[in-house]
Chains A and B, each alone.
Chain A
Amino acid sequence: MASVELKSICKSFGSVEVLRDVNLSLEKGEFVVFVGPSGCGKSTLLRLVAGLEDITAGDLYIDGARMNDVLPSKRGISMVFQSYALYPHMNVFENMAFGLEQARLNQAEIKARVAEAAEILQITPLMERKPRQLSGGQRQRVAIGRAITRKPRVFLFDEPLSNLDAALRVDTRLEIAALHKRLSDTTMIYVTHDQVEAMTLADRIVVLNAGQVEQVGRPMDLYAEPASAFVAGFIGSPRMNFVTGATAEKHGAHTLGIRPEHITISRDAGEWSGSIVHIEQLGSDTYVHVKTEEAGIVNARAIGANAFRAGDAVFLTLQSESVHLFNADGLPVGPART
């Protein structure tokens, strides 16, 4: 039995349709990431599952029971908000205990559960502090801790890392991955813009576009076999190069897509020729932007540091097994790759 099941979910705010016919089925213990561009409805979908928004049409099931009209607190769900949403006037302990008090647990049980969550998140020394006395990362842990204490069946995260700095984001990402391992029975739904988070955390990724599910699949499947030009452009960093016009038509497609890491740069010979307009050195890799006759500006990856300079004439060769071809509707064409 699926842990969370969405059947033909639609959501409108007044006359604006935000989600259209969303069907999803999440397994128990699965880590599912919603990604998509800003405004595509990720948060709205999450809030529908949480019960913070009403479902306009369709059905939501959690562990087989229909949840459309069930109170948020009765759905067995915890949510971690982007802004943490800690209660500013309560200390860390009170923040984490509040939900348990509402559930009328006895004091001993509350203490035990809060202590356990604090232990997991290493915030035991902070119990007496108010949220304003915590750093951003600590606040985020408290918010996660507050969500854990309720022992939810489903855990919802709405961009939990977006307010943290880059280093802390990596650490917290690893901690969330560890948490998922530890709470192996808990289904997790995680909303993010950041596709590194999506690729590294997800068992499955749901790509949303303008209120519709574009593709659902394991991260590497989406990377290797995107079901549309939209997904191809969204998954993978840096972005896939898209080429239209005569060059694409030569391959029998409206649009040709090739990722920077699937292009070989050479000084001697290749399919496309051009000159380097810009270079980005990352240390481990170098991204070389080449202005070509055939395909306009193309971003190609060269491994390690190297001697390319802006203005150099270079040739590009595509790894043919990694070329993605799309028709005018953005759907894949040609023989399906394995």
Chain B
Amino acid sequence: MTARRWITRAGFYALVVIIIVQAIFPFYYAILTSLEDGQALFEVNYLPAALDFSNYASMLTSGVFGRQILNSVFVAAIVVVISLFLAVTASYALSRIRFRGRGLLLLTILSVSMFPQIAVLAGLFEVIRTLGLFNSLWSLVFSYMIFTLPFTVWVLTTFMRNLPIEIEEAAIMDGAPPFTIIRRVFLPIMWPAMVTTGLLAFIHAWNEFLFALTFLSTDTQRTVPVAIALISGRSEFEVPWGNIMAASVVVTLPLVILVLIFQRRIVSGLTAGAVKG
């Protein structure tokens, strides 16, 4: 091997290492910090000095953190289910049925997702109060839909448009009623796209902060990002980093696990072979 190739190779792996460290290190350091206690926190070290799970124990047993995790799970799951249901039905209409103003409607949907959250906050607050949803988890379900629906609708519409209409027509000729076509033909084909968009919607709902801070007022109703931000120490001069990091690790794990479970499903090209190859 020539020197030149050695250098390119070394350069390549150096870059890989930088990227990995950049991506992983913050999380690693959070885990590290969460396993330390008291004064040990403030000594900079890069390998675990001790395995101390007391931060986790105190997070999960004291107070309402467990309840808050369930709140987050509830909101994110409902948002995913409703978004996917509405997006599948809407994208069917948007990709298959010709009607006046279809392009305009699609652009409107997309532009909704471009509003900064803060711009709609005040108006949305009024809406939520009028609907009597203030301090209810449904206020989050409702408001997160504003951001999850545009991209789920867009992604699924694009996907559906690329599905040859002839597959659907073949199913019609085979005598399948509409519901069977959706269940036996559409859903299995759209599964990868739905997993991908559903996962993104879940992550969005799981991480959202501003709405969750504004629309919920009591501790038992809060979702985890706000809950973590509001963790306070024994005095106003103490920031309980150990607890905060333990909580962060706990709420990050579900996302990591979800992505790992579904990463094999997040494949495209399932339709290859349906039409001329």
Interface residues, chain A, with chain B CB atoms under 8 Å away: 50, 52, 71-74, 77-79, 81-89, 98-99, 102-103, 130-136, 139, 146, 150, 163
Cβ contact within 8 Å between A87 and B170: yes
Asked if A88 contacts B176 (CB within 8 A), the reply is no
The interface size of chain B toward A, counting residues with CB under 8 Å, comes to 24
Q: Across the interface, do B270 and A89 meet the contact criterion of CB distance under 8 Å?
A: yes
Q: Is the CB of A99 within 8 A of B164?
A: no
Task: List, in ascending order, chain A residues with CB within 8 A of B185's CB.
Answer: 87
Could you tell me the distance between the alpha carbons of A132 and B272 in the complex, rounded to whole angstroms?
A: 6
B214 within 8 A of A: no
**Residue contact B174 to A131, C-beta cutoff 8 Å:** no
> CB distance A83 to B275 under 8 Å?
yes
For residue A313, give the distance in angstroms from its CB to the closest CB of chain B.
Answer: 48
- Chain B residues with CB under 8 Å of chain A are 164, 166-167, 169-176, 180, 184-185, 188-189, 270-277
Chain A hits for B170, CB < 8 A: 79, 81, 85-87, 146
Q: How far is the CA of A81 from the CA of B174 in the complex (A)?
A: 13
B77 smallest CB distance to A (angstroms): 26
Given A72-B173, A89-B188, are A83 and B273 neighbors across the interface (CB < 8 Å)?
A: no
Chain B nearest CB: distance from A89 CB in Å?
4
Chain B contacts for A78, CB-based, 8 A: 173
Q: How far is the CA of A87 from the CA of B180 in the complex (A)?
A: 13
Say yes or no: A73 contacts B173, CB within 8 Å. Answer: yes
State which of B184, B275, B277 has its C-beta within 8 Å of the C-beta of A85: B275
A residues near B169, Cβ cutoff 8 Å: 52, 79, 81, 85
By a CB distance below 8 angstroms, the chain B residues around A84 are 274-276
Contacts of A131 in B (CB 8 A): 273-274
- Looking across the interface, which residue of chain B has its beta carbon closest to that of A78? B173
Contacts of A74 on B, CB cut-off 8 Å? 175
Chain B nearest Cβ from A88, distance in angstroms = 4
With beta carbons under 8 angstroms apart, the residue of B172, B173, B174, B273 that contacts A139 is B273
Measured in the bound complex, the distance between the Cα atoms of B175 and A77 in whole Å is: 10
Judge whether B274 and A73 touch: CB under 8 Å: no
How far, in Å, is B192 (CB) from chain A's closest CB? Answer: 10
Instruction: Give the chain B neighbours of A103 by CB distance below 8 A.
Output: 175
B171 to nearest A CB, angstroms?
A: 7
In the complex, which residue of chain B has the Cβ closest to the Cβ of A130?
Answer: B273
The chain A residue with its CB closest to the CB of B166 is: A85
Q: List 28 A-B contacts (CB under 8 A).
A: A50-B173, A72-B172, A73-B175, A78-B173, A79-B173, A82-B166, A84-B274, A84-B275, A84-B276, A85-B166, A85-B169, A85-B170, A86-B170, A86-B273, A87-B167, A87-B170, A87-B171, A87-B189, A88-B272, A88-B273, A89-B188, A98-B176, A99-B173, A102-B174, A131-B274, A132-B274, A139-B277, A150-B174
Inside 8 A of B270's CB, which chain A residues have their CB?
88-89
B273 and A98: CB pair below 8 A? no
